[in-house]
């Protein structure tokens, strides 16, 4: 193997002024990684339910605790945020929305929309079923 | 690469359309296809999860075992397992620069994501036949 040549590196994250689109990009990656963990949690929950009442009780004790509910609420927001932010990516993939104004509007829509939609899902979830 | 391989294909012909990962745009495309799939399923799945909160075991099994719910959940975990494998691989390729470590991480990610998908699918199938 040939040894690596030390070439000059381009400036990285820390030298740029933070912008909304940049923060959104970092958050898209962060929520993607968080959802990875969330999918594992979902596998545990499904397996616990399939295992029977005893296994399920352990899972329920966790997910029903304040910490578990917080994690689940966080998972909901992460998925909704990543979804809306992802739709932004798909719009860009199709070649639209690259103007300065459009990029900003799309990003703001996704950021605000994620909070609104997350709350709506929890309200609907509780209205249709949920703890009583 | 090899000079006298006996083939007429030029070096350029071999790499054309394949890019740095050696697999062309397949990864990119599959990430998009799975994203759209999960995107269609995400809201219903989230509502189902919130609906399950606070229910006892029997009620949970009854809801998760219902045909429509089980099918939605199964599609969701399959698409998620595939999408998260692809996504995490990109993150690994960005941050892990040691070739051997990178290979190990990519394999671990692949196997782990696949296992998460299979475990979830197994549980869903078991739930549909009553626990
Ligand atoms: C369980 C659900 C999901 C998980 C575990 C997940 C995970 C991930 C991960 C780990 C990445 C890599 C992030 C990066 O490269 O920075 C990623 C990328 C991506 N995700 Fe998801 N994701 C999920 C749902 C979705 C949904 C619903 C969409 C809908 C549009 C979506 C769209 C995308 C797109 C477009 C990318 C590529 C971004 C890019 O090229 O920079 N994902 N996802």
DSSP alpha helices (H): ranges in chain B? Answer: 11-15, 26-52, 57-65, 67-95, 99-128
Instruction: Return d(Cα A12, Cα A8) in angstroms, integer.
Output: 12
Domains of chain A listed by start with CATH number: 20-128 (1.20.1300.10)
ipTM value for the complex: 0.86
Q: What is the pLDDT of residues B50-100, one digit of tens each?
A: 889 889 999 999 999 999 999 999 999 999 999 999 999 999 999 999 999
Stated pTM of the model: 0.87
A–B: how many Cβ contacts below 8 A? 118
Instruction: Return d(Cα A85, Cα A97) in angstroms, integer.
Output: 13
Banded model confidence at residue A51, pLDDT cuts 50, 70, 90: very high
Domains of chain B listed by start with CATH number: 25-129 (1.20.1300.10)
The alpha carbon of B128 is separated from its chain's Cα centroid by a whole number of angstroms, namely 23
For atom 42 of ligand 1, which residue has the closest CA? Answer: B35
A50 close contact with B: CB closer than 8 A: yes
Q: Is A29 in the pocket of ligand 1 (CB under 6 A)?
A: yes
Least Cα separation, residue A104 to chain B (angstroms): 22
Banded model confidence at residue A95, pLDDT cuts 50, 70, 90: very high
Q: What is the pLDDT of residues A72-94, one digit of tens each?
A: 999 999 999 999 999 999 999 99
B80 close contact with A: CB closer than 8 A: yes
**Closest-lying ligand 1 atom to the alpha carbon of residue B88:** 10
């Amino acid at each position: 193997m040939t040894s690596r040549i030390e070439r000059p590196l381009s400036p990285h994250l820390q030298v740029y002024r933070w912008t909304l689109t940049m923060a959104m990009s970092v958050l898209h990656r962060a929520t993607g990684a968080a959802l990875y963990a969330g999918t594992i949690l979902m596998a545990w929950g499904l397996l616990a339910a399939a295992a029977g009442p005893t296994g399920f009780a352990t899972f329920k004790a966790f997910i029903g605790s304040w910490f578990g509910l917080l994690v689940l609420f966080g998972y909901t927001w992460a998925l909704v945020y990543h979804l809306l932010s992802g739709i932004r990516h798909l719009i860009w993939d199709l070649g639209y929305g690259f103007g300065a104004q459009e990029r900003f509007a799309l990003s703001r829509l996704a950021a605000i929309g994620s909070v609104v939609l997350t709350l709506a899902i929890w309200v609907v979830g509780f209205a249709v079923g949920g703890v009583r | 690469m090899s000079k006298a391989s006996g083939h007429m294909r030029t070096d350029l012909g071999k790499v054309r359309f394949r890019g740095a990962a050696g697999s062309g745009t397949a990864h990119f495309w599959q990430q998009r296809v799975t994203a759209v799939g999960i995107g269609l399923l995400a809201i219903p799945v989230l509502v189902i999860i919130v609906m399950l909160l606070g229910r006892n075991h029997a009620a949970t099994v009854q809801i998760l075992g219902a045909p429509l719910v089980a099918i939605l959940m199964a599609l969701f975990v399959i698409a998620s397992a595939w999408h998260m494998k692809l996504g995490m691989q990109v993150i690994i390729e960005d941050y892990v620069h040691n070739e051997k470590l990178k290979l190990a991480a990519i394999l671990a990610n692949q196997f782990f994501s696949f296992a998460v998908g299979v475990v979830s699918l197994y549980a869903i199938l078991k739930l549909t036949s009553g626990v």
